[in-house]
Structure 1
Amino acid sequence: MCGICGWIDFDRDLGGPDARREIADMTATMACRGPDDEGTWIDGPTALGHRRLAIIDVQGGRQPMMLQEDGRPALVLVYTGETYNYRELRQRLTALGRRFDTSSDTEVVLHAHREWGRRDPRTAVSELNGMFAYALWDTATRELLLVRDRLGIKPLYYYPTQHGVLFGSEPKAILANSLAEPAMDADGLRRTLCSIADPYNTVLRGMREVRPGHIVRVTRDGIQQMTYWQLTDSSHTDDVPTTVQRVRELLDQTIRRQLIADVPLCTLLSGGLDSSAMTALAAHFSDERIRSFALDFVGYTDNFAPGPGRPTPDGPYVQEVAKFLGTDHTDITLSADELMDPSVRAATLHARDLPLTSGNIDSSLYLLFRAIRKHSTVALSGEAADELFGGYSWFHDPARIQADTFPWYELSENLALQSLDPGLVEKLDLPGHLDEQYRRALAEVPALTGPASADPHERRMREVCYLFLTRYLPMLLDRKDRMSMALGLEVRVPYCDHRLVEYVFGTPWSHKTFDRREKSLLRAATADLLPQSVVQRVKSALPEVQDPTYDRMLRARFTALLNDRNAAVAPLLSVDRSCVLLDATDNRRGVERILALENFLTDYNVSLTV
């Protein structure tokens, strides 16, 4: 896992001292993602930067990596992520006459493009199984490819310029270049306020994401997007027992592949079905005793108060699973003081890099990963199981499902919006923005075929599953990536394996709920691995601190912000409405979002035009 960045300018030689300084500055912003090594490659219109977190072939995997032909660089690659099937691909490429100098997956990607991607790069990328984002420069054709994995696990941003493009694993890398303007307009503010992933744009004007499953090709003639993967209808014909068996087979294959590492590895264990099943499979296939880590808060279990989405505390289930599986387990217990530590909050918001926050969930993940990094360099996490197998309560709420919008989102619940100036709220027209985003997403949904296509509920659930996988899951993947990579920890997400996603997405909703519960297929496929208490446990959301001290500290910071007339966010706020937000019973998320926006505007000196 690494951090990448680069600069292409077809009308300039980037070998001069000013350009070299800028690419060095861009690369330096990625140091947190790659603490083990750094490298740059500059030639004519091209400057590539790389920071490395060494996971596979620690000695031989240095980057930028070149494929030489006739004694000269033919392809140059900066790569972040993991290609889990690189060993199988290496064998195939060796049989075709390719010769390798390292044992890294990065070199396999280079040779795959040379062997299979000459005519169409999509052919080469489609061979890769993994989580990745990379930039490939062809020295002969003077063409840059920006490639992102199918589910968008690894981030990749780009910023078109007059004569080329800037790109980076995070916006901060791009903003380190003088050609990038840190500006936010009304569209950016809309995206900031809504909990909907936009695969087309970021909150910063002019900056874009490489969409999951896409390649961006940059040439002197311009920028072109190509799709190499998308969710499709598979005309699922397997019965329920066969489907359960196939899910287990795919999980077995995926976990075995994702255990490959030349550094210490662990799992994130919450005591829920997703993480427990993943940990059980890891323990089964690992040659060594698996380490597991869990997040907890001071007094959380003893003083636990059930709430929406959190019927039970994680602690007792975590301990039961760890004992049942025999893992080398550690609880990371946090206090409100730690979560509100100014240095932790600053580091968390800087890691997020955009004014998107989950408040104390972000901070708690950051502190969890900081503790884990002392012991492990790679962690397996259970992200995507809920979106894939239908775990959230929204999937099973008829009112939410029938609503003609995103099931997880209601404007009336957006407390941050309620703090804004009424005139600004009217101008932003968030209902219109959400509807536009929703219609755009629906237009992408692959139509059902076969007998299920005649069932209106099956058709609707196909839409809902697509929305969760493409507009909700990316927010969680981004959060997990940012908080972990800020500390040089690689987090792998086995439930995002594209073969598993393709198969389960194409499965009828009636199969996914065959036992009239959430996550029926996952439960049936892994029940033999776990204690019955965990198999039958109702989903409980990621824990949040319940210490009232945290809320008092949060309110104090928000009050100070309202009293600061020079605050960057002040022109957006209504003091009277913000005071109402401050007095609201459940105001934590709204306050967190406004504080994050202030931090972002200030730290990045963002010009705001709305």
Structure 2
Amino acid sequence: MCGICGWIDFDHDLGSPDARRELADMTATMAYRGPDDEGTWIDGPAALGHRRLAIIDIQGGRQPMTLDEDGQTALVLVYGGETYNYRELRQRLVALGHRFETSSDTEVVLHAHREWGRRNPCTAVSELNGMFAYALWDTAKRELLLIRDRLGIKPLYYYPTQYGVLFGSEPKAILANSLAERALDADGLRRALCSVADPNNSVFRGMREVRPGHIVRVTREGIKEMSYWQLTDSGHTDDVPTTVRCVRELLEDTIQRQLIADVPLGTLLSGGLDSSALTALAVHFSDERIRSFALDFVGYTDNFTPGPGYATPDGPYVQEVAKFVTTDHMNITLSAHELMEPDVRASTLHARDLPFTLCDKDSSLYLLFRAIRQHVTLVLSGESADEVFGGYSYFHDPAHVQADTFPWLEVDTGWQYLDPDLLEKLDLPGYIDEQYRRALAEVPTLTGPASADPHERRMREVCYLFLTRYLPRLLDRKDRMSMALGVEVRVPYCDHRLVEYVFGCPWSHKTFDKREKSLLRAATADLLPQSVVQRVKSGYPAIQDPIYDRMLRDRFTALLNDRNAAVAPLLSVDGSRTLLNATDSTSWVEHILTLDDFLTDYNVSLTV
């Protein structure tokens, strides 16, 4: 797990002192993603930087890593992430005559490209099972490949320039180069304000994300994008018992692969079905005692108030699971004052690197990983089980399912706090509808008997929307908050084999017991206490302490009274005052505060 960055300039030699200094600045922004080591490689038009968080082959996995042929460097790689099937690939490559100098998965990726990617890089990448974002420079072809894993677990951005490209694991690496502009235009503001992952828009003008499951090829002739993976209709024919058995087998194989590490590891445990099943499997297959970690707030369980998506507090279930599966468990308990500390909010924004926020859920996650880092370097997380197995209430609410938009978006978006002229120019409803139609056009056609059922067809669309336009936002958040503290998070439910298999299942299979996540529940029920098996889903905990809301609104009041606030030109005074006094507006208040902090701290110019 690492941070990568680089610069390709086909018209200039990047070995000059100024260029080297710029590369060093770019690499330095990735220090917290890779606190264990750093390295750079420069030759002619190519300059690559790397910061390393050592997880596998701590001594031998240094980067940038090169592959030599006939005494000359042929390929150079900067790699972030993990390839879980690297041992099997290594055996195949050795049988084909390849020789290895390290035990790292990085070197396996290098040789995989040399063996299987000469004609088509998609062939090589398709061999990899893992989470990754990497850049591969071919010295003979003078070609850069930017490659991102299938679900977008690991981030990767690029910024076309006049003579090539800048790239980095996070926008801050690109912005450290003088060629990159710190500007937010109308499209970027639309992305910042809407709860939809737009794979073609990274907020900063001119900057793009490498799309999940895609390769970006950079040559002197230009930049081209190609897909090496997409969700397809598998024509699922397994009955329910067979499907349940296959899900269990896939989970067991995935967990065993993702337990491979040369550092201490643990699990994130919420007491819900997803994290509890994952923790139980980890305990079963690990030779070491598993440590588990849970988030809690001061007084949360004793004063818990049920609400939409929050039926029960996590605490009692967490303790029951930890005792049942025998983990070495630790609760991380936070207060409202900790969440509102200025340095915590600033660090959270810097980790996010973009003006997105899930309110206190971001800062609490940051503090959770800060505490975890004192004990382990690697944790397994249940992220994406809801998207894969259909866990959210949206999947089961006919009004949300049949809405002619993204199911998680409410009709009233709360945008009344924005300046009316700006709102008219942005046309946010039109932007969301455009994104929705574009996503629908990608959904693979349903085949087989289920294709005649309108509900099955619609649920295929809903599942696709969640996997491609909702999940990426959560994966990005989990990556940023963990890597900001030098913690690697692995997400077994994102294993592409599991995602492909379950995506192909009829919705009637996914709800065969008339509940959410039927397949996951049936596949893992024997591992867990019945209370957890039967527990109704409760989301990632949000603080319920009124002190937090009061502190937030005090800060918002000060912002509204500051005529020089960076966000002021975007706001409607009357709408913002109304928002301040509304009882259910906390999330919108958080969004405005975050946007103001972003514009100020990043010195972003508005061009809307």
**TM-score band, normalised by shorter chain:** over 0.9
User: Greater CA deviation, 527-536 or 192-201?
Assistant: 192-201
The structure 1 residue matched to 2:557, chosen from 544, 556, 559, is 559
**One-letter amino acid of the counterpart of residue 481, structure 2:** M
Structure 1 counterpart of 2:28: 28
**Partner residue, 2:313:** 313
SS at match of 2:172: helix
Aligned residue in 2 for 1:502: 500
1:485 aligns with 2:483: yes
Give the Å deviation of 1:586.
1.2
- AA matched with 1:359: C
Q: Name the aligned partner's letter for residue 475 of structure 1.
A: R
Structure-2 separation of matches of 1:426 and 1:13: 47
Pairing 1:133-532 to 2, within 5 Å after superposition: 133-412=133-412, 414-415=413-414, 417-532=415-530
Offset, 1:411: 4.4
Q: Does 1:580 align with 2:578?
A: yes
1:542 and 2:540 are equivalent in the alignment: yes
Per-residue deviation, residues 232-252 of structure 1 (Å, max 9, x unmatched) = 000000000000000000000
The AA in structure 2 aligned to 1:30 is: M
Measured in 2, the distance between the counterparts of 1:225 and 1:362 equals 32
Deviation per CA, 1:320-362, whole angstroms, max 9, x where unpaired? 0000001000000000010001100000011000000111000
Give me the whole-angstrom Cα distance separating, in 2, the residues matched to 1:173 and 1:599. Answer: 19
Deviations 1:403-422 (A, max 9, x none): 1100001241x33x221111
Residue identity opposite 1:47 in structure 2: A
Q: Deviations over 1:14-46 (max 9, x none)?
A: 000110000000000000100000000000000
How far off its partner does 1:70 sit?
1.3
CA distance in 2 between partners of 1:288 and 1:332 (Å): 22
Which residue does 1:118 correspond to in 2?
Answer: 118
Answering whether residue 566 of structure 2 is matched by residue 568 of structure 1, we say yes
Deviation at 1:299, TM superposition (A): 0.1
Q: Which amino acid aligns with 1:380?
A: L
The aligned residue for residue 533 of structure 1 is 531
Query: Match of 1:598?
Result: 596
Alpha-carbon separation, structure 2, partners of 1:426 and 1:161:
32
Q: Where does residue 14 of structure 1 map in the other structure?
A: 14
Tell me the SS of whatever aligns to 1:591: helix
Q: Which runs of 5+ in 1 are unaligned?
A: none
Normalising by structure 1, report the TM-score.
0.99
**What TM-score comes out, normalization by structure 2 length?**
1.00
Letter matched to residue 212 of structure 1:
P
| Cα separation, 2, equivalents of 1:565 and 1:58 | 52
Q: Matched residue of 1:560: which SS?
A: helix
- Aligned pairs for 1:14-93 within 5 A: 14-93=14-93
Cα offset for 1:604? Answer: 1.3
Given residue 519 of structure 2, which amino acid in structure 1 is its aligned partner?
L
In 2, distance between residues paired with 1:201 and 1:573? Answer: 23
Distance 2:285 2:9 in 1: 48
Amino acid at match of 2:104: S
Q: Secondary structure at the match of 1:443?
A: helix
Secondary structure, aligned partner of 1:491? strand
Letter in structure 2 aligned against 1:231 = L
Number of corresponding residues: 608
**Aligned mates of 2:601, 2:159 — CA distance in 1:** 20
Question: How big is the shift at 1:520?
Answer: 0.2
Unaligned runs of 5+ in 2: none
Q: Which amino acid aligns with 1:277?
A: A
Aligned equivalents of 2:132, 2:228: Cα separation in 1: 14
The residue identity in structure 2 corresponding to 1:578 is S
Encode CA deviations 1:241-280: one digit per residue, 9 max, x unaligned: 0000000000000000000000000000000000000000
Contact between 2:78 and 2:135, CA under 8 Å: does it hold in 1? yes
Partner Cα separation in structure 1 for residue 355 and residue 119 of structure 2:
40
How far apart, CA to CA, are the structure 2 residues paired with 1:341 and 1:406?
A: 34
CA offsets, 1:135-194, max 9 Å, x none? Answer: 000000000000000000000000000000000000000000000001111111111110
CA–CA distance in structure 2, aligned partners of residues 105 and 59 of structure 1: 13
SS at match of 1:555: helix
**Counterparts of 1:567 and 1:372, CA distance in 2:** 36
Distance 1:605 1:13 in 2: 30
- 1:574 positional shift: 1.3
Whole-angstrom CA distance in 2 between matches of 1:79 and 1:383:
23
> Matched residues in 1 for 2:387 and 2:488: separation?
22
Q: 2: CA distance between counterparts of 1:258 and 1:591? A: 39
CA contact (8 A) 2:187 2:201 kept: no
Query: Which secondary structure state, in structure 2, belongs to the residue aligned with residue 608 of structure 1?
Result: strand
What RMSD over aligned residues (CA atoms) do the two structures have, in Å?
Answer: 0.6
Partner Cα distance (1:60, 1:379) in 2: 22
Between the aligned partners of 2:592 and 2:67, the Cα distance in structure 1 is: 48
